Amino acid sequence: MSKAGTVAATSALHLLEQYREGSSFFWSSPQHTLLAQGEQIRWSAMEGLEGNTSDSMGAVRVTEQRRDEATQLFINRMEQLMEKARRLGQTKPIVVGAIPFDLVHSSAELFVPEKIQWAEPLSPNSRALVEKRPAAVGCEVREEPAGAVFQQSVNNVLMDLNQGDLHKVVLSRTLHVTSQTFVDTHQLLRNLFRDNTHGYTFAVPMTKIYPSKCDITTDKRANTEPEKETHRTYIGASPELLVTRKGSKVRANPLAGSAARSEDPAEDRRRAEALLASAKDRHEHAVVIEAVAEALRPLCKHLTIPAEPSLVQTRTMWHLSTDIHGELANRGTSSLELACALHPTPAICGTPVKAAREAIREQEPFERGLFTGMVGWCDSGGDGEWAVTIRCAEVEGRTLKLFAGAGIVAGSTAEAELAETSAKFGTMLLAMGLDPSVSSMKEE
């Protein structure tokens, strides 16, 4: 074995317990569990783009041609990263981490690890053996934007939809959570792993940002524990597979059209059946499926696409789902290239993509960063898995920033979309040990 490489497979629970905040990448999918430790090579951000234009307000706008060029440059740089790892002694290097929603405005968090370990997936019954405890204590919650502001943004988009400029826009909002104690990121990961049995649970170590002196907090809440080194971690449990490649086989599983679940079994089933029958949600889903198929067709010999969507469930949500399978036309096409060809899908951006992206930048008061990007891994042979980065949060010290979004189409209402984002926050809030209702109680 080379200095950096794969070690013998072990159990998923063992990998979960070996996780260390700040130095480990954890990934659990229906196929396997992966723990990557240590950084042999860390991705460094690309230089700024040229050829940008500014709008009348002076905001930087990026041409679609430059976006395409940036994506190709990114893929080329990843291939160079793999080659550098080979020169350093790795026989089959792997890149792990997360890629942002917009490579132009945010940086990827990717690295070649020093050691990787694999394990078989764990059954739901075995996951129940993981002890669940609160990951944060005495939390305060603040919305950004406030619920009323988010609803106004939805109404702004609906006006554009009625004018025919757009077909769909995905708008998101955040919750800023401050804990009295340091967030137990390892316990948060355990809780997510335990409760999300069919999706993609992940934890990504992020590059540390050192605060300036003026950023140092004087909040008395921050003095309840001795100071210790903090790490930035992007963590979550996504229900949505963007794409996976194994040899020549390709699979994508887009989700679009959602409904909150109910604790009452009869009401829960009614909501599921209503979602499956909803003309609005089925149209939203069909738009996403066609976009995914259009992106994959040039890269595949054939695609198999079910005629009707099915239902998938998480602990908090129902989703319309379509499982798409294909065979690569060129075995040299990597999972990363497939992921970049698909991203961003209408499920997390909208359609047409260019107009939807502009609407997002106009309406959302924050940079998405890794949210609605992609998280996963790709090896030097091109195999890999990439999930859509949703149901997630950025954790650092005593703070968490949670993200949730909703697709706005004709027939949407501001009240319903606000409620949908509140329900989607539930995955992370439950994992933290908080009441999910706090997502609709606090305003700025």
Residue 234: which H helix or E strand, with range? strand 232-238
How far apart CA 395 and CA 392 sit, in angstroms, is 10
Can you give the pLDDT at residue 47? 46
What would the mean pLDDT of 65-71 be, rounded to a whole number?
84
Tokens encoding 355: 């107009």
What would the mean pLDDT of 44-54 be, rounded to a whole number?
50
Can you give the pLDDT at residue 436? 80
- The one-letter code for the residue type at 115 is K
Can you give the pLDDT at residue 60? 46
Please check the confidence at residue 55 and state whether its pLDDT lies above 50: no
Instruction: Read off the pLDDT of residues 16-42 as tens digits, 9 standing for 90 and up.
Output: 999 999 999 999 999 999 999 999 999
Instruction: Read off the pLDDT of residues 268-303 as tens digits, 9 standing for 90 and up.
Output: 999 999 999 999 999 999 999 999 999 999 999 999
Please check the confidence at residue 213 and state whether its pLDDT lies above 60: no
Can you give the pLDDT at residue 188? 98
The C-alpha angle 356, 359, 363, rounded to 5 degrees, equals 140
- What positions carry a catalytic annotation? 168, 240
Residue 341: which H helix or E strand, with range? helix 335-342
Can you give the pLDDT at residue 44? 80
What would the mean pLDDT of 415-437 be, rounded to a whole number?
93
Of 415, 424, 380, residue with least CA distance to 155: 415
Can you give the pLDDT at residue 8? 57
Please check the confidence at residue 216 and state whether its pLDDT lies above 60: no
Q: Per-residue DSSP letters for 300-340?
A: EEEEE--SS-EEEE-SSEEEEE--EEEEES-TT--HHHHHH
pLDDT interval class at 328 (50, 70, 90)? very high
Percent of the chain beyond pLDDT 70? 88
Query: Is there a contact between 373 and 389 (Cβ–Cβ < 8 Å)?
Result: yes
What is the reported pTM?
0.90
Tokens encoding 366: 């924050």
Of residues 350 and 443, which shows the higher confidence score? 350
* CA distances from residue 191 to 127, 180, 184, 186, 363 in whole angstroms, order as listed: 10, 19, 11, 9, 33
* CA distances from residue 87 to 3, 39, 41, 113, 299 in whole angstroms, order as listed: 12, 15, 12, 14, 30
pLDDT interval class at 84 (50, 70, 90)? very high
Please check the confidence at residue 3 and state whether its pLDDT lies above 70: no
Instruction: Read off the pLDDT of residues 160-205 as tens digits, 9 standing for 90 and up.
Output: 998 877 899 999 999 999 999 999 999 999 999 999 988 999 999 9
